Structure 1
Amino acid sequence: MTTAGEKQYYAVALLSSLFEQLPSWWRLGVLYDIACVLHRSMSKWKILPSLLPRIDWGVSVFHAFGHQWPCQCMYHPQKRKGFGFSDGEGCERCWGALKKLAPVLQVSGVCL
C-alpha cells in the first residue's frame, strides 16, 4: 500500500469518503488503472470490507492491454456487466484537452 508507484491508500481514502456520501444501497463501478491490484489488496487485507460487495471493478481500456491476460478477461470494462461502452478514459481526454493551457517551456525544478 505504501511502496513506490501508485499509492493505493489514496484510492482507498477516496472510495471511503465517496461511499460516506452515497446511499447505503448504491453500487458503484470503479474504473481505475490498477483496479485489479487495488481489489486484490482490499480483499486480502480486509480493507473496507463492508464496501467491497458494493464495488464493481474495472481497468480502463487503455491500461487494460498492459495487464496480464487473466486480468484483461476479468477487469476489462467492455467484458463486465454494467459498464456499457465506457472505456474509462474520460479524465485522460479532459487532461489532454487542458494540456495546452500549461506553458510548453514550463520549468519543473530548480532554476539557475
Structure 2
Amino acid sequence: MAFASTGLRAAICHHGRVLQMVNMTTAGEKQYYAVALLSSLFEELPSWWRLGVLYDIACVLHRSMSKWKILPSLLPRIDWGILVFHALGHQWPCQCMYHPQKCKGFGFSDGEGCERCWGALQKMAPVL
C-alpha cells in the first residue's frame, strides 16, 4: 500500500518555532523541498533582510543553487551553514567553510531545531 505523503520538511527559526512546513510526496530528501521552503519564506520577509540557513547538507544545496542559478536573486541574501552535529561528517574544507561556529552571524546556534521538533511530534505519528 502506498501513501500520498512520505514525510514533512520544515523551516524552523532560531527559537525553535515552525515558520514553514511542506508535505513531502516523494521518497528521500529532495533539494526542491528546501528550495520551496526558502522561496516561500523569503516572500514573507522584507527585501533587505539576510537569512542564515543551517541545513545538514547546506554545502550541497548552496552549490546546486549557484550552479543551476536557482533563485539567483536570493543567493546573495543567504548565509549558509551546516548543522553542528552533521558538520563532522563532512570533509575538512566543507567544515572550514560552513561550520556555523566558524561563520559570522550564527553565534552558538546548532541548527538542530528540526530534530527537536520531530522529537516532540514523534508521539503523534509513530513509525509504522
Q: Secondary structure, in 3 states, of the residue corresponding to 2:127?
A: coil
User: Deviation digits for residues 64-95 of structure 1, max 9, x if unmatched?
Assistant: 11111111110001110000000111221232
Bigger-Rg structure (1/2) = 1
Aligned length: 105
| 100 and 6 in structure 1: CA distance in 2 versus 1, 3 angstrom threshold | closer
Question: What's the TM-score once normalised by structure 2's chain length?
Answer: 0.73
Cα distance in 2, alignment partners of residues 79 and 27 from structure 1: 18
Deviation of 1:2 (Å): 12
Question: What's the TM-score once normalised by structure 1's chain length?
Answer: 0.82
Q: Is residue 2–residue 8 contact of structure 1 (8 Å, CA) maintained in 2?
A: no
- In structure 1, the gaps of 5 or more residues are 106-112
Q: Give the structure 1 partner of residue 80 of structure 2.
A: 57
- In structure 2, the gaps of 5 or more residues are 1-23
Q: Secondary structure, in 3 states, of the residue corresponding to 2:33?
A: helix
| 94 and 46 in structure 1: CA distance in 2 versus 1, 3 angstrom threshold | same
- The correspondence for 1:13, drawn from 19, 36, 39, is 36
